[in-house]
Amino acid sequence: MHFDHGQVPEEYQQYIGRKKLFILIVAIGLTAILVVAISLGATNISMSSVAKSLIGMATSVQTKIIVWNIRLPQALAAIVAGAGLAVAGAVMQSILRNPLGSPFTLGISHAAAFGAALSVMVLGGGVMTSSNVGAISITNPYITTASAFLFSIGTSLLIIGVTRTRGASPEVMILTGVALGAFFTAGTMFLQFFADDMQLAAMVFWTFGDTARATWTELGFISTVTVVCVLYFFGNSWNYNAIDAGDETAKSLGVRVGRVRMTGMLLASMLTAVIIAFLGIIGFVGLVVPHMVRRIIGSDHRFLLPACFLVGAVLLLVSDTVARLILAPNVLPVSVLTAFLGAPAFFWLIIRGGRR
């Protein structure tokens, strides 16, 4: 073969440079928004104090407690959850070859809600107290979390199991997910019908995804899972690009399509399950962010995945901050806001038209 006359085209390098610049700008923006987000709240703290406290310089004890014990964990939870959900969504959309791939369409969120409801009802995770902000909280959250996680990961294993017997086709995966989602919704309704007032409140409360639930321990766990999964996804960028070109083309390029699809599906589900189990259901981030980012920088996963990571983080951090402030002194769970924002954002994407 004779390919000796090629050059690396300058305009292509500029094109790649623009993508990298976009990612860099979002990363810097995220850092800035983090400082602003921490400074805003019931007690306003100046941004310089926040910055000082974050880099470990001396500030007042009150500032230190508010920043490190309350606002930073919540902000970081929003960042990690937004990033993880967005990347998981982008990967699912690619390997399922379906623009609707997300934890919702695959029944993973419904399974988590059912697991939480079951735990509240049967395992006694639902002894309720009222905290000082007036919200209801679940006093034994770990049982609820574990139960939600087990059901959502079990659902994804079931989807994978079914697809193994029927061939790893995207259609089978999605249809199985939809069927399981309907089943778990029915199960949750059944439990809710027989629940008493307190249990019903706990079940419903759990489904409101809320970043304030994360403490440093939980944050550490969610972050570790997110980092491991995301690194795996980044390493498979070319495989996802190839799968976008069709299964046969991907196979002819040496991609083990079935294996990449199964592993990607398993890790994306696990990542989603961990986030949902600890924080509750946060909708639309996994669905909308990949579509938004794809419009800006295209569907080359080498750049799409890092960009989704950052844009997802920004989106959920901003939403979380707005949710904390919009009805002050009442604090709105972020999932209520993302659900409201997600639907019109999605309509806009559809109406602006074009293929993915």
Partner 1 sequence: MILAIKRLAFGYNGHRILSDINLNVEPGELLAILGPNGVGKTTLLKCINSIHSPNTGTILVEDRNVLKMKPNEIALSIGYVAQRCETSRLTVFDTVLMGRKPHIRWRVAERDMKVADSALQQLDLARLSLRYIDELSGGELQKVAIARALVQEPRLLLLDEPTSSLDLRNQINILSIIRKIVDNHRIAAVMTMHDLNSALRYADRYCFLKDGYVHAVCDRSTISADIIENVYGLPVSIHHIDNCPVIVPEDHFN
Q: Which residues bind partner 1 (CB under 8 A)?
A: 1-9, 11-12, 15, 238, 241-242, 244-246, 248-249, 251-256, 294-295, 298-300, 355-356
Q: Which is nearer to partner 1, 68 or 234 (CB)?
A: 234
Closer CB to partner 1, 238 or 340, in the complex: 238
Nearest approach, Cβ of 241 to partner 1 (angstroms)? 6
Counting runs of H as helices and runs of E as strands, what totals does the chain give?
Answer: 15, 2
> At its nearest, how many Å lie between partner 1 and the CB of residue 170?
12
Instruction: Report the alpha-carbon distance of residue 61 to residue 39 in Å, rounded.
Output: 15
CB of 32 to partner 1, least distance (A): 29
Between 224 and 252, CB nearer to partner 1: 252
- The whole-angstrom separation of Cα 264 and Cα 198 is 39
CA 329 to chain centre: 27
CB 145 within 8 A of CB 178: no
State the nearest-atom distance from the C-beta of 249 to partner 1, in Å: 5
Nearer to partner 1, 5 or 352 (CB): 5
Amino acid at 318: V
| Own/partner pairs, 297-302, CB within 8 angstroms, 24+ separation | 297/19, 297/22, 298/19, 299/94, 299/241, 299/244, 299/356, 300/19, 300/237, 300/241, 301/90, 301/94, 301/236, 301/237, 301/238, 301/240, 301/241, 302/237, 302/238, 302/241
Of 71 and 301, which CB lies nearer to partner 1 in the complex structure?
A: 301
**Nearest approach, Cβ of residue 230 and partner 1 (Å):** 17
CA atoms in the 13 A half-sphere facing the CB of 187: 19
Cβ(195)–Cβ(203) under 8 Å?
Answer: yes
- Closest contact distance (angstroms) between CB of 289 and partner 1 is 15
Query: What minimum distance in Å lies between the beta carbon of 311 and partner 1?
Result: 16
Minimum CB distance to partner 1 smaller for 39 or for 241: 241
Minimum distance from CB of 48 to partner 1 (Å)? Answer: 40
CB of 86 to partner 1, least distance (A): 17
Q: Which is nearer to partner 1, 154 or 258 (CB)?
A: 258
CA distance 145 to 138: 10
- Pick from 164, 163, 187, 189: nearest CA to 176: 163
Q: Which residues pair with 138 in a beta bridge?
A: 128
Residues 6 or more apart in contact with residue 123 via CB below 8 angstroms: 143, 147
Q: Which is nearer to partner 1, 56 or 353 (CB)?
A: 353
Exposed/middle/buried for 282, CB within 10 Å: 0-12, 13-18, 19+?
buried
* 164 versus 259: smaller Cβ distance to partner 1: 259
